[in-house]
């Protein structure tokens, strides 16, 4: 068992991966800006008040734990001061970034070419600049994460409510359980300064997703104008190799099966209808 882990920012992903982290680490701590409201699911000794914008809270981070950074790392000057204050450079550090780091407006090819971790990133995006700092100066491992879905974050609801619409744009998604497993595998096995794309390896167009959702769940989608960018197709080969090192594998490669399971769970949680 590993000694201890601090999860910075206990939102959707952090909460979902907590059981897995507790199986691997003897002690798991999690932070919130309002721990009394957002960390009530944890024992009091696991709860830490932490706000990157309030340096007076930085000293509450336990010394020598591994660190999983689960919120956008901005602004860069605070990120750097914080990293020095808690000696991030000598800890195992994994940062959740985003696939928006890869510029998608440049290619007119359709379908868009596959991209791996060597693709150009956009350093004008503040969080990308900070992630590169944490990676190159402090040895952090950056996970470039696709759209996260799972229980309570359901693409079917995104379609129903018009948050997304049918278009030829490609989207890359990752189930929160697979993201959690990847975070743990990265904390254990990834090389310092490494970068990993995190997606299910099955880029789809919103047209395909919307059509299938309409056919299987009878939910109509709105249609978007065609002037949107083409999106990206993200290779996840490196991430799959990482999961292999952990004797794990991707569990949710079939989006529609995963959506079926989420819908069933939602219905079960709602209880029998009257």
DSSP-derived pairing of the beta strands 170-171 and 204-205: antiparallel
Binding to ligand NAP by CB under 6 A, coded x per residue (else -) over 148-187, reads x---------------------------------------
Local structure of 144: helix, strand or coil: strand
Do residues 235 and 114 lie in contact, with contact meaning Cβ atoms separated by under 8 Å? Answer: yes
H runs (alpha helix) in the chain: 12-24, 35-38, 76-85, 126-138, 155-160, 176-189, 206-217, 237-245, 255-270
The Cα 188–Cα 8 span in angstroms is: 17
Q: Is position 77 an interface residue for ligand NAP (rule: CB under 6 A)?
A: no
Provide, rounded to whole angstroms, the least separation between the CB of residue 111 and ligand NAP. Answer: 21
Q: Is position 113 an interface residue for ligand NAP (rule: CB under 6 A)?
A: no
Provide, rounded to whole angstroms, the least separation between the CB of residue 97 and ligand NAP. Answer: 7
Stretch that binds ligand NAP, among 3-11, 85-93, 163-171, 229-237 (CB under 6 A): 3-11
Q: Which of 25, 61, 67, 72 binds ligand NAP (CB under 6 A)?
A: 72
Query: In terms of residues, how long is the chain?
Result: 274
Radius of gyration for the chain, computed over Cα atoms and rounded to the nearest angstrom:
19
- Beta bridge partners, 4, equal 27
Closest to ligand NAP by CB, 164 vs 243, is: 164
Distance from the Cα of residue 216 to its chain's centroid: 27
Residues near ligand NAP (CB under 6 A), total: 21
Q: Is position 236 an interface residue for ligand NAP (rule: CB under 6 A)?
A: no
Provide, rounded to whole angstroms, the least separation between the CB of residue 55 and ligand NAP. Answer: 11
Closest to ligand NAP by CB, 89 vs 147, is: 147
Using CB under 6 A as the criterion, which residues of the chain lie in contact with ligand NAP when the complex forms?
Answer: 9-13, 32-34, 38, 50-53, 70-72, 96, 98, 145, 147-148
């Amino acid at each position: 068992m590993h000694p201890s882990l601090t999860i910075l920012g206990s939102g959707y992903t952090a909460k979902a991966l907590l059981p897995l982290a507790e199986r691997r680490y003897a002690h798991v701590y999690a932070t919130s800006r309002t721990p009394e409201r957002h960390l009530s699911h944890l024992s009091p000794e696991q709860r830490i008040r932490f706000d990157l914008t309030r340096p007076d809270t930085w000293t509450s981070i336990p010394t020598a734990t591994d660190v999983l950074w689960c919120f956008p790392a901005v602004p860069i000057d605070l990120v750097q001061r914080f990293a020095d204050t808690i000696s991030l450079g000598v800890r195992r550090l994994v940062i959740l970034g985003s696939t928006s780091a890869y510029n998608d407006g440049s290619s007119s090819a359709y379908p868009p070419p596959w991209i791996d971790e060597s693709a150009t990133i956009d350093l004008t995006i503040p969080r990308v600049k900070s992630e590169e700092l944490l990676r190159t100066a402090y040895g952090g491992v950056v996970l470039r994460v696709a759209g996260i879905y799972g229980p309570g974050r359901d693409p079917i609801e995104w379609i129903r409510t018009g948050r997304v619409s049918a278009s030829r744009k490609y989207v890359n998604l990752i189930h929160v359980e697979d993201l959690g497993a990847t975070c743990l595998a990265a904390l254990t096995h990834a090389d310092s300064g490494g970068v990993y794309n995190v997606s299910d390896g099955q880029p789809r167009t919103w047209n395909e997703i919307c059509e299938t959702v309409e056919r299987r769940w009878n939910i109509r989608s709105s249609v978007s104008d065609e002037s949107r960018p083409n999106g990206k197709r993200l290779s996840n080969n490196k991430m799959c190799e990482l999961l292999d090192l952990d004797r794990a594998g991707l569990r949710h490669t079939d989006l529609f099966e995963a959506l079926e399971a989420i819908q069933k769970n939602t219905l079960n949680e709602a209880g029998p209808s009257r």
